[in-house]
Structure 1
Amino acid sequence: MLILLNLLSGVALLVWGSHIVRTGILRVLGADLRTALGRSTGSRLRAFGSGVLVTSLVQSSNATAVIVTSFAAQGLLPLTSGLAIMLGADVGTALMARVLTLDLSWLSPILVLMGVPLFLTRKQTRIGQAGRTAIGLGLILLALHLIVEAAQPMMQGAGVRVMFGALTGDTMLDALVGAAFAVISYSSLAAVLLTATLASSGVISLKVALCLVIGANLGSGLLALSGTLAQNAAARRLALGSLVFKLAGALLILPFASLLARGLPVLIGNPREAVVGFHLIYNTLRCCACLALIDPVARICSRLLPDVPAQNGEFRALHLDAAALSTPSLALANAAREVLRIGDIVGTMLGNVAELIHHNNLAKARETARMDDDVDQLYAAVKGYLARISREQLDEVESRRWTDIIALTINLEHAGDIIERIVGDIEEKKIAHRLSFSEEGLGELEDLHARLVSNLQLGLSVFLNNDLRCAERLLAEKERFRDLERLYSYAHLDRLAGQTLRSIETSALHLDMISDMKRLNSLFCSTAYPVLDAAGALHDTRLRKRVLDTLHAPE
């Protein structure tokens, strides 16, 4: 029993190490990897190569699938390019399996010793997350070593032989077991590494190991498909196409599992090397062959999962009429109306923040964070719509309006991201620990929040009406907010010096929120500048005097 527990703990450590590496790489290079995938749509070979590269870095085809399907869901990635990336991801995870099965046990303590101090001392930096990744790699190598040691005496136990003997009969059953383990561990890489280690220890036969590897590939396809069930048809089509390729490869190769198990030892004597080599060769040949079948598979998936109009139109684009694109003035009016809807969503998110400042409402926090997805969806729709308007047909006024619309769209999308971060900080630092702000701190946050709401509405009004007086007022409000941010930060530091308990408990969150609110206010007030610039008032001394008079006027 102790031997089995040691083996299972090694497996758990292997899965945990894979998770740490995946999350660490995504936190360090997540934005760069998304950019690399997003720019690879021009060529299938380039898309395939980017899939190999990104998956080799994150060591998880599932992580790549999450990124790619999110692009597809937003209409940013064609189905054919997405399928090419997914095929490259399968080759990337096979390459990493080959690297990790090299004799690198000596590297494990070095990685852990280097990673732990980096992560503990600089958690919130890229260097700290790189240390986290090093810890994960060290744990993977350590887990493989522990599994080998635990498996050595296993063949002497009759009970253990009976348990693993169940995997020596049916080819399809073995493949299903491999798929199940990949799904449970959320890592086909972990499943392949475990299989190779068990085969090298003689716990399972080579034929069983090959079937488990094929099943692990199927499991990664099932994971990708299950992850898109709540998304739109475009994302599900991509995951379905990837699963079709994996299923076709499994059906073709499984009948030859016995023949391969007899032939591979002639070429590769070490069972562990044979399993990993088979995994790499199988995925490479399958994926290269499937590149030629992307178009027919894409057509089949499109027929099986056609686009369905959304039943709930609350957060989908309502005003972006494609028929109006031939009339630039009408198209710009449509885009402006849609941007105002984005402003309404941001306003709702901002209103929810007020409740979260007072109450520890976890459900409200998560719903508010989810609303940022609605902002992102409308942002992508407006941006794509504006890109389709012919700039050559725009006169000077319309061209300026086009620029104002895209600028406000970008600013509101950034505002949604900042509010999502504020809500995440509140959930992590306040709700999770059941804390509350001091009365003085709560009053300061309430004041800044009320000004934010007012300035958002004023900024949208300036965007809509181009009113010069409102633009001047908005610029004055920006200056006043900046002064209050500095004043309230100093007041908070004074409370810390006075050893106010609630201020100490929520200090980091309080200061971060004030800083984030200042950034939000700058974004909301940015609509004033185009109006002032168009009126030639940015360098007007009389304007500066009016702004100063407004700034210092009693409230």
Structure 2
Amino acid sequence: MLILLNLLSGVALLVWGSHIVRTGILRVLGADLRRVLGRSTDGRLKAFLAGIGVTSLVQSSNATAVIVMSFAAQGLLPLASGLAIMLGADVGTALMARVLTLDLSWLSPILVLFGVPVFLSRKQTRLGQVGRTAIGLGLILLALHLIVEAAQPMMSGAGVRVMFGALTGDTMLDALVGAAFAMISYSSLAAVLLTATLASSGVISLKVALCLVIGANLGSGMLALFGTLAQNAAARRLALGSLAFKFAGALLILPFAPLLARGLPVLIANPREATVGFHLIYNTLRCCACLLLIDPVGRICERLLPDRAVPNGEIRPLHLDAAALSTPSLALANAAREVLRVGDIVRAMLDNVAELLHHNDLQKARETIRMDDDIDHLYAAVKTYLAQISREQLDEPDSRRWTDIIALTINLEHAGDIIERIVSDIEEKKISHRLSFSEEGLGELEDLHTRLVSNLQLGLSVFLNNDLRCAERLLAEKERFRDLERAYSYAHVDRLAGQTLRSIETSALHLDLISDMKRLNSLFCSTAYPVLDAAGALRETRLRKRALDTMHVKE
């Protein structure tokens, strides 16, 4: 019993090490890997090579699948390019299995000794995540050594022979067991490494090992498909096409597994090397052949999973991919994209306000009020999505980014409410009475509106790029807007004293609009503060402002 527990603990350590490496690489290079995959849409060979490269780094075709299917769900990746990347991911996994089965037991203690102090001393930095990745690699190599050590005495037990004897009769059963383990461990790489190690220890035969490897490929494809069930048809088509390639390959090769098991030892005597070599050759030949079949398979997937029409008036999140939640850096990038979409809706509402200042269009006013419901819906979706991201897994930059995203989301939702109230006031006080602003008053409102739209765009740019100069400019624009708000309010009062009829009729609405625009501008300019704070410039800016205010008072 103790021997079996040692074996199972070695398997658990292998799975855990694979998870640590995958998450560590994604935290360090997540944005760069997304960029590489996102630019691999102009050629199938380029997409195929990108899939190999990215998967070799993250050591998980499932992690690559999460990124690729996120792009597909957002409409950023054609189906053909996505399928080519997925095929490359399968080859990348096979290459890493070959590397990790080399005799690298001497490297395990070095990696752990390097990784532990680096990670513990710098958890919230990129270097700390590199240390975490080194720990994961060390654990994988240590786990493989422990599995070999635990498997040696197992062959002398009759119970062990009976337990593994169930895996020696049916090729389909063996393949299903391999698929099940890949799904449970969330790693086809871990399944292949375990299979190769058990084969080298004599616990399972080479025939069983080959079937388990084929099944592990199927398991990774099923994992990807299950992960897209909650996504749109574009992501599910990509997962279905990838699974179809793996299923077709399994159907073609499984009948020849007994023959291959007898022939491979002639070329490769070591069962471990034979298992890994078969995995690499099988995936390489299968994926190269499937590259020629991408178009017909893509057409079949599009027929089986057509796009569904969205009901009129319904808006849905486009970028909040649930499958990316396990990788915080990817999830934060998705949330940021969705928040920018909310900003686009706020901009559209502001454009409608500009038209309502000139024309009494009741239909335009009602449509603008309805758009606030879209903002509320996306706001709730982004807030829920961010709440599902584990804060404990965020390093310091990602934690600040999480705070910036939620802050901007809240501010844009408040902005939508303010614009809704502005339009309601225009409808009630201007449109219903068929009034219009004076030329001077309309010019002032137009000036404030133009500055408001410009500051919204500048604020979103600061949020996206964290540019210090733009943040300083945005803060200066806030002060300028405040001065204009005060000046235009005084000018309006002067017109009232001159008994200007239009100014008197729209006085309450005019002053309310100026006040509301000032509040909107404050919300849009608030994105400058995190950037200035991070750069240490906020305190200096405030001190300089106080000094200027003191000089004005003395004058």
TM bucket, shorter chain:
0.5 to 0.7
Could you say if the C-alpha distance between residues 470 and 43 of structure 1 is closer, same or farther in structure 2, counting changes exceeding 3 Å?
closer
Query: Residue deviations 1:262-283, cap 9 Å, x none?
Result: 0000000000000000000000
Number of the residue aligned with 2:246? 246
Number of the residue aligned with 2:282? 282
Equivalenced residues, count? 401
Q: How does 1:97-108 map to 2 (within 5 A)?
A: 97-108=97-108
Q: Report the alpha carbon displacement of residue 118 of structure 1 after superposing the two structures with TM.
A: 1.0
Q: How does 1:430-509 map to 2 (within 5 A)?
A: 467-469=446-448, 478=478
Number of the residue aligned with 1:83? 83
Number of the residue aligned with 1:391? none
- Provide the rounded CA distance (Å) in 2 between the counterparts of 1:233 and 1:167: 37
Number of the residue aligned with 2:195? 195
Do the aligned partners of 2:17 and 2:136 also contact (CA within 8 Å) in 1? yes
Number of the residue aligned with 1:224? 224
Q: Report the alpha carbon displacement of residue 382 of structure 1 after superposing the two structures with TM.
A: 7.1
Counterpart amino acid of 2:75?
Answer: G
What secondary structure sits across from 2:231 in the alignment? coil
| Higher CA-based Rg | 2
- Provide the rounded CA distance (Å) in 1 between the counterparts of 2:342 and 2:45: 26
Which protein, 1 or 2, shows the higher relative CO under an 8 Å CA cutoff with sep ≥ 6? 2
The yes-or-no answer on 1:209 pairing with 2:197 is: no
- Provide the rounded CA distance (Å) in 1 between the counterparts of 2:311 and 2:413: 31
Do the aligned partners of 2:20 and 2:133 also contact (CA within 8 Å) in 1? yes
Do the aligned partners of 1:207 and 1:258 also contact (CA within 8 Å) in 2? yes
Number of the residue aligned with 2:159? 159
The yes-or-no answer on 1:131 pairing with 2:131 is: yes
What secondary structure sits across from 1:76 in the alignment? coil
Do the aligned partners of 1:456 and 1:524 also contact (CA within 8 Å) in 2? no
Counterpart amino acid of 1:179?
Answer: A
The yes-or-no answer on 1:15 pairing with 2:15 is: yes
Counterpart amino acid of 1:152?
Answer: Q
Could you say if the C-alpha distance between residues 312 and 151 of structure 1 is closer, same or farther in structure 2, counting changes exceeding 3 Å?
farther
The yes-or-no answer on 1:376 pairing with 2:355 is: no
Do the aligned partners of 1:317 and 1:378 also contact (CA within 8 Å) in 2? no
- Provide the rounded CA distance (Å) in 1 between the counterparts of 2:408 and 2:341: 26
Number of the residue aligned with 2:140? 140
Do the aligned partners of 1:459 and 1:527 also contact (CA within 8 Å) in 2? no
Could you say if the C-alpha distance between residues 313 and 7 of structure 1 is closer, same or farther in structure 2, counting changes exceeding 3 Å?
farther
- Provide the rounded CA distance (Å) in 1 between the counterparts of 2:300 and 2:210: 30
Q: Report the alpha carbon displacement of residue 59 of structure 1 after superposing the two structures with TM.
A: 0.2
Number of the residue aligned with 1:57? 57
Q: Report the alpha carbon displacement of residue 376 of structure 1 after superposing the two structures with TM.
A: 2.3
Do the aligned partners of 2:339 and 2:409 also contact (CA within 8 Å) in 1? no
Could you say if the C-alpha distance between residues 522 and 183 of structure 1 is closer, same or farther in structure 2, counting changes exceeding 3 Å?
farther
Query: Residue deviations 1:230-289, cap 9 Å, x none?
Result: 000000000000000000000000000000000000000000000000000000000000
- Provide the rounded CA distance (Å) in 2 between the counterparts of 1:199 and 1:87: 26
What secondary structure sits across from 2:230 in the alignment? coil
The yes-or-no answer on 1:294 pairing with 2:294 is: yes
Do the aligned partners of 1:315 and 1:378 also contact (CA within 8 Å) in 2? no
- Provide the rounded CA distance (Å) in 2 between the counterparts of 1:244 and 1:422: 31
TM-score, length of structure 2 as denominator length: 0.64
- Provide the rounded CA distance (Å) in 2 between the counterparts of 1:101 and 1:448: 48
TM-score, length of structure 1 as denominator length: 0.64
- Provide the rounded CA distance (Å) in 2 between the counterparts of 1:478 and 1:276: 63
Do the aligned partners of 2:175 and 2:212 also contact (CA within 8 Å) in 1? yes
Consecutive aligned runs of 4 or more in structure 1 exceeding 3 Å deviation: 311-314, 369-375, 377-383, 419-429, 447-462, 469-481, 520-523
Do the aligned partners of 1:74 and 1:380 also contact (CA within 8 Å) in 2? no
Do the aligned partners of 2:174 and 2:215 also contact (CA within 8 Å) in 1? yes
- Provide the rounded CA distance (Å) in 2 between the counterparts of 1:71 and 1:377: 17
Counterpart amino acid of 1:138?
Answer: G
Query: Residue deviations 1:435-490, cap 9 Å, x none?
Result: xxxxxxxxxxxx9999887677779999xx97324677986794599xxxxxxxxx
Counterpart amino acid of 2:341?
Answer: Y
Q: How does 1:327-338 map to 2 (within 5 A)?
A: none
Q: Report the alpha carbon displacement of residue 309 of structure 1 after superposing the two structures with TM.
A: 1.4
Query: Residue deviations 1:508-536, cap 9 Å, x none?
Result: xxxxxxxxxxxx998813999xxxxxxxx
Please list every run of 5 or more consecutive structure 1 residues that lacks an aligned counterpart in the other structure: 319-341, 346-365, 387-411, 430-446, 482-519, 529-544
Could you say if the C-alpha distance between residues 4 and 313 of structure 1 is closer, same or farther in structure 2, counting changes exceeding 3 Å?
farther
- Provide the rounded CA distance (Å) in 2 between the counterparts of 1:170 and 1:317: 46
Number of the residue aligned with 1:394? none
Do the aligned partners of 2:28 and 2:129 also contact (CA within 8 Å) in 1? yes
- Provide the rounded CA distance (Å) in 2 between the counterparts of 1:527 and 1:7: 53
What secondary structure sits across from 2:298 in the alignment? helix
- RMSD over aligned CA atoms reads 4.3
Could you say if the C-alpha distance between residues 284 and 265 of structure 1 is closer, same or farther in structure 2, counting changes exceeding 3 Å?
same
- Provide the rounded CA distance (Å) in 1 between the counterparts of 2:175 and 2:255: 12
Could you say if the C-alpha distance between residues 422 and 59 of structure 1 is closer, same or farther in structure 2, counting changes exceeding 3 Å?
closer
- Provide the rounded CA distance (Å) in 1 between the counterparts of 2:408 and 2:335: 25
The yes-or-no answer on 1:180 pairing with 2:142 is: no
- Provide the rounded CA distance (Å) in 1 between the counterparts of 2:158 and 2:57: 41
Do the aligned partners of 2:199 and 2:272 also contact (CA within 8 Å) in 1? yes
Could you say if the C-alpha distance between residues 266 and 371 of structure 1 is closer, same or farther in structure 2, counting changes exceeding 3 Å?
closer
What secondary structure sits across from 1:202 in the alignment? coil
Do the aligned partners of 2:412 and 2:523 also contact (CA within 8 Å) in 1? no
